[in-house]
Amino acid sequence: MDARKPSSPSPATPPLDARLTEQRNPRSMRIDQLSSLEIVDLINNEDRLVAAAVSEERLQIARAIDLVVDCLGRGGRLVYVGAGTSGRLGVLDASEMPPTYRTHPDMVQGVMAGGYEALLRAQEGAEDHPGDGAAAMDDRNVDRRDFVLGIAASGTTPYVHGALARARERGARTGFLLCTYPSEELLQSHDVVIAPLVGPEVVTGSTRMKAGTATKMVLNMISTGAMVRTGKVYGNLMVDLQVTCQKLQDRGERILMETLGVDRPEATRLLDASGGHVKTAIVMWRSGVDAAEARRRLEQSGGSISGA
């Protein structure tokens, strides 16, 4: 039996809603009578279940990484689509790619029901319009090179379904990330479905909690895995970072000191000569070439330091 499919509920106690995200958690039924410390312990114990639930979806997450890598290799994009907490987490993950991995802002995108305003102030009604989700895919000219990942803890958000349906019509590959049992239709409709079953929330339906934590963990794995696979990490160092602030200047210098065995002044000189790009600086030092030649070699090697 598929572990991700629900077992038949007892006829004596039929659930009012079959979605796990809407079930009541028997362990938190008396949370309103607990002390502050007891509430902390209860939430912490529930959060311990999240990593195990995500681990159960490891094969699906790896499949998603492979899809993203393939699409990026063909000049495509990773596009997250969501509403509410799910949408905000997608936008957050996308927004962290350029400063961390020096990606073009268009390479990883977060699409949010309700747009920018919904990031700052909840606009719950925005999620009810599938046509708006479809229009968002048209606006971004989604095509067969792209991978679009819908994020909806409950699995039912109309905006997300509308976006994914249009993305498929436009030839894109699609995936779905949810925290309840996926329907057979969902499994058949998408290239990958990721469903970490974290169980009912401490506060019924508050999916910003365990479901939100699981979502963040999965998105971290997908985007990080894709960046590693596309040559933006050397060992476990983020060598494709571009220096844009003092913190990144210090990190860039330390990476060069670690990988090249140079002192701080030489690391500073190399970083300045490379235009503030760590990967270029490494190739310059190891190959004895200038910044222009190092960039040319990196471009030819698809961004691989070893290849350059």
- Per-residue pLDDT of 73-95, as tens digits, reads 999 999 999 999 999 999 999 99
Binned at pLDDT 50, 70 and 90, residue 103 comes out as: very high
Residue 94 counted as domain residue: yes
207: DSSP letter: T
Q: Is the pLDDT of residue 2 over 50?
A: no
Q: Per-residue confidence at 99, pLDDT binned at 50, 70, 90?
A: confident
Report, as residue numbers or ranges, the catalytic residues: 96, 127
pLDDT, position 4? 54
pLDDT at 140 over 60: yes
The dihedral of CA 117, 123, 129, 133: what is its sign? positive
Following CA atoms 53, 58, 63, 69 in sequence, which dihedral angle do they give, to the nearest 10 degrees?
Answer: 100
| pLDDT per position as a tens digit, 27-47 | 999 999 999 999 999 999 999
Mean pLDDT to the nearest integer, 162-178: 98
Same domain as 221, residue 125:
yes
Q: 95 with 219, same domain?
A: yes
**Is residue 291 located within the same domain as residue 213?**
no
Say whether both 129 and 158 belong to one domain: yes
pLDDT at residue 13 in the model: 54
Angle at 111 (CA atoms; ends 91, 73), nearest 5 degrees = 85
Residue 112 corresponds to which tokens in the numbers above? 């949010």
pLDDT at residue 173, rounded to an integer: 98
Whether 73 is covered by a domain: the verdict is yes
Tell whether 70 and 185 lie within a shared domain: yes
- 225-229 own/partner pairs: CB under 8 Å, 24+ apart: 225/61, 225/62, 225/65, 225/68, 226/65, 226/68, 226/69, 226/72, 226/78, 227/97, 227/100, 227/101, 227/103, 229/65, 229/69
Same domain, 218 and 255: no
Rounded CA separation 217/61 (Å): 10
Indicate yes or no: pTM above 0.75: yes
Lowest mean pLDDT among 115-119, 216-220, 231-235, 269-273: 115-119
pLDDT confidence band for 17 (50 / 70 / 90): confident
Both 144 and 218 in a single domain?
Answer: yes
pLDDT at residue number 21: 84
Q: What CATH number does the domain containing 290 carry? A: 1.10.8.1080
223 and 265 belong to one structural domain: no
* Distances, alpha carbon 223 to alpha carbons 59, 81, 140, 190, 280, in Å: 15, 14, 20, 19, 22
pLDDT at residue 1, rounded to an integer? 35
Has residue 204 been placed in a domain? yes
Examine the domain organization and report whether 74 and 182 are in the same domain: yes
Q: Would you say residue 10 has pLDDT above 60? A: no
Asked, for residue 195, whether it belongs to a domain, the answer is yes
pLDDT band at 15 (very low <50, low <70, confident <90, very high): low
Q: What is the CATH number for 180?
A: 3.40.50.10490
Q: Are residues 180 and 278 in the same domain?
A: no
The tens digit of pLDDT for each residue in 171-195 reads 999 999 999 999 999 999 999 999 9
The DSSP 8-state label assigned to residue 154 in this structure reads T
Beta bridge partners of 111: 81
> How many CB atoms are located within 10 Å of the residue 14 CB?
8
Residue 27 domain-assigned? no
Domain identity same for 140 and 263: no
243-260, pLDDT tens digit by residue?
888 988 999 999 999 999
178 shares its domain with 136 = yes
Residue 170 has pLDDT above 60, yes or no: yes
Helix (H) or strand (E) holding 100: helix 97-101
- For the segment 15-19, the average pLDDT, to the nearest whole number, is 72
End-to-end CA distance of the chain: 49
- Full domain range(s) for residue 255: 246-300
Number of domains in the chain: 2
In a domain, 41, yes or no: no
Instruction: Provide the 10 A C-beta neighbour count for residue 188.
Output: 9
pLDDT tens, residue by residue, 260-277? 999 999 999 999 999 999
Angle between helices 158-169 and 130-139 (to 10 degrees): 40
